[in-house]
């Protein structure tokens, strides 16, 4: 049964692909697509926050039926209200349609280009037929420049959706559809395009109504929805309170589009936007301003989204598969996320282009996260195995260092040149003894010896390379080096400790009536090749090279000098000037070495080595 780590390493690309597929679900019609849509909402809100407010466009102007206009009785005394025919008619909502028509006529007389009513007139006036006649008569001179609101609604009846178009009772220029598109989170984000109009309103008698924002230009609405580019929070768009319409000069209205609608918060027309709650009339004004100034936000066509998501998936997959460790994969993942966010921000600001950013962000997060988890689990198993194997070969300090950053050093068939001290220890005349000992006694004796000698190596943070019969091979300076002098000093101390512990072991053997053991130790410092040797199924970290042979030959040379169990090379001695007590034994030819080697018998350490307390 495959492990979770193995599945994570092999199937992470599925996690990478899932958000990209979800990014193609624009409506979204499936639960898979709703997650990215919600994140896109949050990212869009973040973009507006980072960009900050922009100056309000001059066109359009909102003629606002605001809270003050609805409460003039509290703002003005009766005598002041009587002084203005408009003020006399203003009061609680709804106002007579004749009054609303007078407001529109005033701005049209002063040069307004057109008037858009963001007020529904789907039913006859509650003030009677005369009010409707007065409304039509007042605006008759500007019939082609006045647009009324057309509302689309969907009602659920017995499990069936029933679509309705609430047409105005008055026939002026083409009515404007006030419906705006919302995200799954209820954020007003776009003006419908031709695709939406055909899908929702195609069954109604032609011609299809146009969104109110697109009534200000002769060209038909675009195929795709136009994203709303809000200049700022509520109150940013230019507004003139209805009760102050006569106080403004004609230049306020000349050549401009005027949007008449209710803005009083008490009437409950607030809707959620990326920049905070905003009244429906001001949102329509933002949409009109986007069309007039060509400042709307535009998505890529569906095929463009598809190519972008496919290309991003391939690029992210290739980059995420390169790192060999979980940490590197996470770094690559974060770099991809940061890069796509910056690119999305730049295109949103500079080209007013909206990308399926949530899918582009979630893909490397999901794919990279899954791959990093798989790698992390594999690394955890490798660390546990390394800890089990290496705890018997290296010191705890070196082990912690290796496990913090194992890299390829313990699990790949690689090699590299290094300088280190090589220690070789071999028991002298042990073969005859092994012939007369019982196997259990032989192994018990060897294990006692190896326990004593191995501890000396580990205490000096050396690497126990291998046990070869009755011989021990160790290195100081691989796979991590503390510097040539420190590693050479550690090797010397380990050798002296091994000799001291052998003497202690011999005391125990003498007490048991057994013959003592004798060993020879060779020490050399030089260049080796360190790495893993073996097959694809089993690798072993070791060192090879002439320096290993020199240490082995020095250990063998101790048989000629039984009174000197530790022999070192001149190369090692040169690293520790004045620190060692040695006895020169002269040059000796060694097999495999090009010229005779200066050999020294190690007797001990100076009482105070240079640089040490």
Residue 334 has a pLDDT of 95
Q: What is the pLDDT of residue 399?
A: 55
φ, ψ at 172 (rounded to 5°)? -110, -150
Kindly report the number of other CB atoms within 10 A of residue 159's CB atom: 5
Whether this model's pTM surpasses 0.85: no
Which contiguous run of DSSP H or E holds residue 519?
Answer: strand 519-534
Whether residue 515 contacts residue 433, with contact meaning beta carbons closer than 8 Å, is answered with: yes
* Residue 249 vs residues 100, 146, 237, 305: alpha-carbon distances, Å: 19, 21, 18, 48
pLDDT at 158: 67
> 70, 62 in Cβ contact below 8 A?
no
The SS3 call for residue 155 is strand
Note the helical H segments in 244-395.
280-292, 302-320, 326-350, 357-390
Q: Are 71 and 265 in contact (CB under 8 A)?
A: no
Q: How far is CA 341 from CA 338, 361, 362, 364, 567, in A?
A: 5, 7, 11, 12, 65
Report the SS3 class of residue 540: strand
What pLDDT is recorded for position 73? 84
Which structural domains are found in the chain, ordered by start? 4-23+305-387 (no CATH), 58-294 (no CATH), 405-605 (3.30.70.1230)
Contact 25, 305 (CB under 8 A): no
Residue 32's pLDDT is 63
Q: What is the mean pLDDT of each run of 10 residues along the chain (613 residues)?
A: 49 86 69 74 91 92 94 86 87 93 96 95 94 96 95 77 86 91 90 91 87 91 93 94 93 96 85 93 96 93 90 93 90 95 94 91 92 85 63 53 53 72 89 73 85 89 86 90 94 95 89 87 93 65 88 92 94 94 92 86 76 44
The residue whose two tokens read 């200066």 is 598
Question: In the prediction, which pLDDT does 404 show?
Answer: 56
Q: Who's near 501: CB < 8 A, 6+ residues apart? A: 452, 453, 455, 456
The confidence score (pLDDT) of residue 302 equals: 86
């Amino acid at each position: 049964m495959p492990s979770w780590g193995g599945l994570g390493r092999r199937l992470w690309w599925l996690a990478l692909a899932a958000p990209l597929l979800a990014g193609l679900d624009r409506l979204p019609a499936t639960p898979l697509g709703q997650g990215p849509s919600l994140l896109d909402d949050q990212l869009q809100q973040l973009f507006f926050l980072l960009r900050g407010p922009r100056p309000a466009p001059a066109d359009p102007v909102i003629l606002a039926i605001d809270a003050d206009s609805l409460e003039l009785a509290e703002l003005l005394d009766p005598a002041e209200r009587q002084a203005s025919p408009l003020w006399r008619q203003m009061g609680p909502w709804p106002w007579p349609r004749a009054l609303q028509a007078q407001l529109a006529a005033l701005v049209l007389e002063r040069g307004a280009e057109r008037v858009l009513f963001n007020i529904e007139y789907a039913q006859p006036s509650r003030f009677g037929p005369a009010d409707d006649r007065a409304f039509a008569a007042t605006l008759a001179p500007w019939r082609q420049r006045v647009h009324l609101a057309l509302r689309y609604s969907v009602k659920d009846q017995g499990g069936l959706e029933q679509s309705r178009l609430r047409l105005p009772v008055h026939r002026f220029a083409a009515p404007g559809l006030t419906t705006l598109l919302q995200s799954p989170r209820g954020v007003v984000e776009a003006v419908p395009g031709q695709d939406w109009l055909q899908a929702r309103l195609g069954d109604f008698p032609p011609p299809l109504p146009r969104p109110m924002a697109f009534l200000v230009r002769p060209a038909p609405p675009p195929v795709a929805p136009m994203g709303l580019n809000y200049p700022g929070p509520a109150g940013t768009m230019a507004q003139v309170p209805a009760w102050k319409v006569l106080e403004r000069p004609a230049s306020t209205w000349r050549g401009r589009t005027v949007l008449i609608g209710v803005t009083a918060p008490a009437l409950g027309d607030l809707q959620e936007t990326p920049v905070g709650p905003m009244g429906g009339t001001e949102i329509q004004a933002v949409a009109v301003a986007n069309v007039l100034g060509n400042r709307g936000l535009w998505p890529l066509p569906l095929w463009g989204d598809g190519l972008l998501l496919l290309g991003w998936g391939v690029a992210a997959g290739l980059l995420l598969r390169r790192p060999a460790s979980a940490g590197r994969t996470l770094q690559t993942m974060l770099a991809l996320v940061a890069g796509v966010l910056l690119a999305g921000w730049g295109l949103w600001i500079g080209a007013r282009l909206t990308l399926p950013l949530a899918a582009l962000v979630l893909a490397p997060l999901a794919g990279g996260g899954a791959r990093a988890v798989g790698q992390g689990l594999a690394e955890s198993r490798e660390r546990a195995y390394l800890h089990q194997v290496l705890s018997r070969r290296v010191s705890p300090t070196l082990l912690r260092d290796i496990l913090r950053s194992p890299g390829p050093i313990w699990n790949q068939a690689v090699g590299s040149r290094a300088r280190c001290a090589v220690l070789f220890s071999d028991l002298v005349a042990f073969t005859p003894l092994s012939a007369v000992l019982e196997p259990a006694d032989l192994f018990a004796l060897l294990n006692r010896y190896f326990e004593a000698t191995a501890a000396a190596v580990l205490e000096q943070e050396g690497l126990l390379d291998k046990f070869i019969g009755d011989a021990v091979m160790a290195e100081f300076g691989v796979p991590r080096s503390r510097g040539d002098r420190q590693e050479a000093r550690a090797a010397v101390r380990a050798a002296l400790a091994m000799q001291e512990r052998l003497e202690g072991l011999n005391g125990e053997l003498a007490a048991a009536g057994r013959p003592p053991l004798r060993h020879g130790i060779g020490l050399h410092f030089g260049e080796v090749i360190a790495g893993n040797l073996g097959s694809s199924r089993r690798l072993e970290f070791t060192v090879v090279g002439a320096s290993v042979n020199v240490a082995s030959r020095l250990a063998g040379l101790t048989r000629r000098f039984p009174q000197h169990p530790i022999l070192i090379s001149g190369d090692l001695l040169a690293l520790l000037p004045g620190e060692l007590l040695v006895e020169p034994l002269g040059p000796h030819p060694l097999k495999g070495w090009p010229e005779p080697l200066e050999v020294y018998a190690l007797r001990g350490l100076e009482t105070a080595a240079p640089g040490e307390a």
